[in-house]
Structure 1
Amino acid sequence: MEAHDGMSAKIVQEAGFRGVWASGLTTSAALGLRDSNEASWTQVLDVLEYMADATTLPILVDGDTGHGNFNNVRRFVRKLGERGIAGVCIEDKLFPKTNSFLGEAQPLADVAEFCGRIKAGKDSQTDDDFVLVARVEALISGHSMEEALRRAEAYHAAGADAILIHSKKSTAEEIFAFTERWGNRAPVVIVPTMYYSTPTELFRQAGISTIIWANHLMRSSIAAMRETAQRIHEDESLVRVEGSVATVKDIFRITGNAELEEAERRYLPAKPAAAAVVLAAAGGSLGGQAPDQPKCMVDIRGQSLLKRLAGTLRESGVRDITVVRGDRKEAVALQGARMLDNDRHAETGEAWSLACARETIRGETVVVYGDVLFRRYILDSLLTSSAEVVIAVDTLGTNEASSGPRDLVAADHRFSGDYLDDAPAHLRQMGAGLVPEEVCGEWMGLARFSARGAEWLREEIAALEAEGLLEQADMPLLLTRLAARHPVRVKYFTGHWLDVDTLTDLAEARNFT
């Protein structure tokens, strides 16, 4: 299967193919160049190095004409060997080449001269298993079957390990005629781009060794990128495309971020990992739930809402999780998490629940509501912030109708709409009663405290307790008071989170994941 960079090579392997075709056409196209040797052979080598690092599959390189005469071929082959490339295919045309499907009757190389390129390549290989495939362009250029066979035999005698017979007919008649007369004297490779409707089983019956699907990953990516770009340009929004494109998490998976994280744990000095406190004590149910099932345990595609939330925390390295439960606490369960109980959940607020976990707030800590979901990048952004206290605020919250009290945010700096705007924003006030002119967004129920910020948080909890306010205080009041004493950074986001309060929210949550 064709690939043109490291990512596409990984996708080829993931799909189950047995080898990679490093296409000259698509490698050039990925660089924005024509398939006319506009990409130098050293540029091609750079791409191949990334591809070889990205996959364990053997890579057969489209070497065009060999990038020149015999001298270029032998140097190219040596460099391919240094990069662990399995083989190269060179075609019997003149340098610089023109793509086979452009124009008619393209001139072919002199047979004896091309045989010299083959011999030079074979003499220069550094691995006995390296394969040199000779591509016969006679049929493409309008020559006879006899000429194609004559060239194939000469190239085989010169040392070619296989023959690629090329055709631009819409049926495979030429291919089958060639293989019948060739008699399997050497393996035959084909590229059925034009005669794609021929069943592969017929190729097997004809004794063909290898099929190259030559350019379809590039062509499919162009179609997908064009559609996505046009939609975003038309909508000036990501709403229509976000659910139909690969997730950022998928990019991380394909490119091996898990291996990097493991290597970081092995080789880097240990950094105290952040802990999390999940506030899940409040009552509340959604329609259709069992009477004894609290909202945080509602099913989201086979996992509880709480488990989904914990999965996002753990993916970002937050594995020490404390859950403060209350309402129907026996039903609240999360493997690997510490459970603390607010047995006064019916008469106390969120700050009291947080106070139940105050002894766990000793270093970097994430505090999050137990009924929210968010994309991992939001949490990662908070974890990498240099602020001592930082909260996640959705700017879209200012435009949505509220079905009840909301954690509205007033800050000293509004979201400008420009992600290059680095001016920091800080919390001034949070609560449901802000006047519309003051509202900058809605708190997502997610905050991160550095070790120092955690000290400030414990101090504020103690202050509320001393003033007799802790029992009824909610998180907006706690954060507002904290912001009056210390800087509380506001990080703006636009959507990509859910507060699961209604059946509509539940339906969106099942699509959100």
Structure 2
Amino acid sequence: MSESRAHRTRRRLREALTEDRLLMLPGAFNPLSARLIQAKGFDGVYVSGAVMSAELGLPDIGLTTLTEVTSRAREVVRITDLPVLVDADTGFGEVVNLGRTVQLLEEAGVAAFHVEDQVNPKRCGHLDGKQVVDLDTAVRRVAACVNARQDPATVIVARTDVRALEGASAATERAKALVDAGADVIFPEALVSLEEYGAVRAAVDVPILANVTEFGKNRLFTAAELRSVGVDLAIYPVSLLRLAMGVAEVALDLLHAEGTLESVVPHMQTRARLYEVLGYDVWRRFDNSVHDFKLDS
């Protein structure tokens, strides 16, 4: 039996994680932006819970549902050939619910997902006032994901938010326990220095992930800086949404004040480029193949 497209993508991600380089995964705020991420040559696409919440006009406190997240994941997977990493928050329920979460995410075709050790309701990883579950519960969450996984190539990323509450050394110790539970990648959230990333790197023998987010607890480390301390993946979860919304605000103010957007047309994506990203030509050829035919006499 031939390998599924999803399995091939997962294997490709695992192989890329063995290479001596930083994988960069910008966050897609809709399927179209995922297509653009691929066109620009990035290593993968990230589907952020914070972005999904924002799209729905909701704060990032665990209000999105498993159905909403898997639906968006499926839409993004369909539009790109890149590996897709999805934010699964705390698993959408208790430990027992993680089995269903993993099942649906794998069925959606994602290459990887991350589950975290915050309590419900969770909050953005760079906000104050977070709480985390005890170590045993955190370990059981990861173990549940491992046990529920149907495709061994699916990459399970364990996120820990303990740094903000108990310090960097606690994050390192928890990271080791999550690796022992079967995590394929460690995501230590809201570390504040390159040295802290280096400490986690030295403590575990699996790849580590850095969240590069604007207005967060740390400065915006460059790709070269992150790689210098052994970081293997970097996600840029909300960057494209923030840029799009920032430009949209400027344009709306301009339209309200001047009654026209003519002055900012040069900054817009052209119709031709939009059609190129959308793949209009592919659909045109498909349409012609259906209509341009002759019946045998």
TM-score range, shorter chain: 0.7 to 0.9
Counterpart pick for 2:166 among 143, 146, 149: 143
Query: Which segments of 5 or more consecutive residues in structure 1 lack a partner in the other structure?
Result: 272-513
| Residue 22, structure 1, aligned to residue 34, structure 2 | no
Distance 1:243 1:145, change over 3 A: closer
Higher relative contact order (CA 8 A, sep 6+): 2
In the comparison of the two structures, how many residue pairs are matched?
A: 266
The residue aligned with 2:182 is: 159
Q: How does 1:376-415 map to 2 (within 5 A)?
A: none
1:159 is paired with a residue whose SS is: coil
Deviation of 1:242 (Å): 2.5
Structure with the bigger percentage of strand: 1
The residue aligned with 1:128 is: 152
Q: Which amino acid aligns with 1:9?
A: A
Counterpart pick for 1:190 among 202, 210, 233: 210
The residue aligned with 1:266 is: 289
CA distance in 1, matches of 2:230, 2:116: 22
Tell me how large the CA RMSD over aligned residues is.
Answer: 1.9
Structure with the bigger percentage of helix: 2
Q: Which amino acid aligns with 2:199?
A: A
Q: Which amino acid aligns with 1:107?
A: Q
| Residue 87, structure 1, aligned to residue 112, structure 2 | yes
CA distance in 2, matches of 1:167, 1:120: 25
CA distance in 1, matches of 2:240, 2:220: 18
CA distance in 2, matches of 1:238, 1:220: 18
CA distance in 2, matches of 1:206, 1:244: 37
CA distance in 1, matches of 2:258, 2:90: 45
The residue aligned with 2:65 is: 40
Q: 1:186-235 CA deviation, whole Å, 9 max, x = no partner?
A: 21111133434434323223222111122211111111111112212222
CA distance in 2, matches of 1:225, 1:32: 16
Structure of larger gyration radius:
1
Q: Is the 8 A contact 1:86 1:130 kept in 2?
A: yes
Deviation of 1:147 (Å): 1.8
- Kindly, what percent of the aligned residue pairs are identical? 27
Distance 1:205 1:168, change over 3 A: closer
Tell me the TM-score normalised to structure 2 length: 0.83
2:264 is paired with a residue whose SS is: coil
CA distance in 2, matches of 1:8, 1:27: 13
Q: 1:312-367 CA deviation, whole Å, 9 max, x = no partner?
A: xxxxxxxxxxxxxxxxxxxxxxxxxxxxxxxxxxxxxxxxxxxxxxxxxxxxxxxx
Distance 1:205 1:103, change over 3 A: closer
Q: Which amino acid aligns with 2:154?
A: F
Q: Is the 8 A contact 1:167 1:175 kept in 2?
A: no
Counterpart pick for 2:143 among 114, 119, 122: 119
Deviation of 1:134 (Å): 0.5
Q: Is the 8 A contact 1:167 1:174 kept in 2?
A: no
Deviation of 1:241 (Å): 2.7
Q: Is the 8 A contact 1:187 1:208 kept in 2?
A: yes
The residue aligned with 1:218 is: 241
The residue aligned with 1:425 is: none
CA distance in 1, matches of 2:256, 2:191: 37
Tell me the TM-score normalised to structure 1 length: 0.49
Distance 1:138 1:254, change over 3 A: same
CA distance in 2, matches of 1:252, 1:259: 10
Q: How does 1:3-402 map to 2 (within 5 A)?
A: 3-104=28-129, 106-140=130-164, 142-167=165-190, 169=192, 171-180=193-202, 182=203, 184-193=204-213, 194=216, 195-268=218-291
Deviation of 1:150 (Å): 2.2
CA distance in 1, matches of 2:224, 2:264: 38
Q: Which amino acid aligns with 2:272?
A: K
CA distance in 2, matches of 1:126, 1:196: 38
Q: Is the 8 A contact 2:251 2:261 kept in 1?
A: no
Deviation of 1:96 (Å): 2.2
Q: Which amino acid aligns with 1:225?
A: A
Distance 1:265 1:4, change over 3 A: same
Distance 1:131 1:241, change over 3 A: same
2:262 is paired with a residue whose SS is: coil
Q: Is the 8 A contact 1:67 1:96 kept in 2?
A: no
